[in-house]
Amino acid sequence: MKLFDPSRFPIFLIIAILGILTVWLIWRARRGQSLFIRKIAGLEAVEEAVGRATEMGKPILYVPGIDDANNIQTIYSMIILGHVAKMVARYETPLIVPICKAFVMPLAEETTRQAYLDAGHPDAYNPNNIRYLSNEQFAFAAATNGIILRERPAANLYMGSFFAESLLLAETGFQTGAIQIAGTANIHQLPFFVVACDYTLIGEEFFAATAYLSREERLVGTLKAIDYTKVIILVVLVVGTLLASFNINFLHEFLNLE
C-alpha cells in the first residue's frame, strides 16, 4: 500500500500553498495589518438604501433565499443579514425578513435579535417581522410579492440561493420603485437579477461580502489567500501556455496533465 502517490504531488502542492497563505494572512490580519479588499458597489449601496428607506418612512425587505439552513449560501446570507439588521437598528427602520424554510426561521430570528442588541437598540427588534411564509417555492414567491405590493418597502435585498422565483420577486420590486440589491452564487439566476435590480453581487462577490462587511480576521485572511492562489494558478497557466508554444513540456509533465 502506497502512503504517497507521486502523481498527485501537484495537487498536494496547491493545497499546501493555499494552507500556508491562509495561515499567514490570518496571522497578519490578527496583528492589525490592513488587508485590501476592493469595494463592492452593491454593498456600498446598502447604506444608501437604508438611508432612503429611513427618509421615506418605509420598511426594508431582506430575502435570504429559499434554500435550507445547511446550504452554504444561506449561512453566508445570515452573516449579511446581521450587518444589515445592525445598520437598520441604528436608524430604527422596520426590517421585514420573509422565510421559506422552517429551519432557517430560528437562524434569522437569532441573527436579527443579536444585531439589534449589538447596535444598542434591543427594544426596536420586532419578532413579527421575521415571517415564515411557506415551504413551497412559488407559494413563498407569491406571499413575498404580496408583502412587497402591500407594504411597499423602499429597499429590497435578495441575498442567498434563488431559483425560478428570482425574476418574480425582482420584477415585482422593480414595479414598486424600490432600490434592489441582489446576490447569489446560482449563476443561472444572475441574468434575471442583473436586469431587474440596481446592484447585483455576481458569484464569488456574494461570498466575499461576508469578509467585506464583518472584517473578521479569519474570513478576510481566507479570502485573500484564495485570491493569491488564483493569481498563482493563472501565472502557471500563462507560463505553461508559452512553454508549450515552444514545445517545452516539462511543466506539462510535472503537473501530470494527460
Where do the DSSP E strands lie in 113-251? 130-132, 155-159, 179-184, 199-202
**Model's pTM, two decimal places?**
0.85
User: Which cell goes with 129?
Assistant: 417581522
Reference 43, options 208, 221, 218; nearest CA is: 208
Query: Phi then psi for 86, rounded to 5 degrees?
Result: -65, -40
Local confidence band at 250 (pLDDT 50, 70, 90 cut-offs)? confident
The arrangement of strands across the sheet holding 199-202 comes to 130-132, 95-99, 60-63, 155-159, 179-184, 199-202
The yes-or-no verdict on residue 204 having pLDDT over 60 is: yes
Local confidence band at 256 (pLDDT 50, 70, 90 cut-offs)? low
Task: Give CA–CA dist 53/81, Å, rounded.
Answer: 16
Q: For 16-70, what is each residue's pLDDT tens digit?
A: 988 999 999 999 888 888 888 888 888 888 888 888 998 999 999 999 999 999 9
The yes-or-no verdict on residue 257 having pLDDT over 70 is: no
% pLDDT > 70, the chain: 98
Span 4-10, average pLDDT? 76
Where do the DSSP E strands lie in the chain? 60-63, 95-99, 130-132, 155-159, 179-184, 199-202
Domain coordinates in residue numbering, the chain: 41-214
Using the structure block, give the residue that is written with the C-alpha cell 453566508: 76
Reference 222, options 14, 35, 11; nearest CA is: 35
Q: Does the domain at residues 41-214 carry the CATH identifier 3.40.50?
A: yes
Local confidence band at 2 (pLDDT 50, 70, 90 cut-offs)? low
Q: For 133-186, what is each residue's pLDDT tens digit?
A: 999 999 999 999 999 999 999 999 999 999 999 999 999 999 999 999 999 999
Task: Give CA–CA dist 146/172, Å, rounded.
Answer: 9
User: Which cell goes with 257?
Assistant: 496533465
Q: For 222-243, what is each residue's pLDDT tens digit?
A: 889 888 888 988 998 898 888 8
Task: Give CA–CA dist 212/208, Å, rounded.
Answer: 6
Please give the DSSP secondary-structure letter assigned to residue 122.
G
Give the type of residue at 144: T
Q: Given this model, what pLDDT does residue 122 score?
A: 92
The yes-or-no verdict on residue 100 having pLDDT over 60 is: yes
Local confidence band at 98 (pLDDT 50, 70, 90 cut-offs)? very high
User: Which cell goes with 197?
Assistant: 435590480
The yes-or-no verdict on residue 101 having pLDDT over 70 is: yes
Q: What is the mean pLDDT of the chain?
A: 90
User: How, if at all, do strands 130-132 and 155-159 pair?
Assistant: unpaired
